[in-house]
Amino acid sequence: MRIFVYGTLMSGLERATVLNNSQFLGAGTIQATLYNLGSYPCISEGSTRVVGEIYEVDDTTLQELDMIEGYDEESPETSLYCRRQVTAIMADSNAQLLLETYYYNLTVENGELIESGDYRKYLEV
């Protein structure tokens, strides 16, 4: 399965090692709104270009990602994040890819909007 990551799972960030056994397909973007929640980011519905990385993951890695993101396939309504299908645009080719990513399942109350849509750039400021 293809997964789009936009926060702490991106290469060089604190949870990137989870994807060590996954195939990196490239950088890309999706349409959403990106927020910083303190120690990690989240996305919600929106029209900002969110920058991230695309990976091909196996079932074991997907289960690990679901656990990290607090996603329970049996009970999505009580999950912290929900895995949803989206279309990503590959940075190198502008090709469109259907894949999944994790949307925040709660109301973003105290999150700081990341206007650039790029969590890595946000951390550098």
Active site (catalytic) residues? 69
- Per-residue DSSP letters for 29-88? EEEEEEEE-SSSEEEEEEEEEEEEEEEE--HHHHHHHHHHTT--TT-GGG-SEEEEEEEE
End-to-end CA distance of the chain: 33
In terms of residues, how long is the chain? 125
Here the tokens at position 116 are 């650039």
Distances (CA, A) of 71 to 82, 90, 116: 6, 26, 26
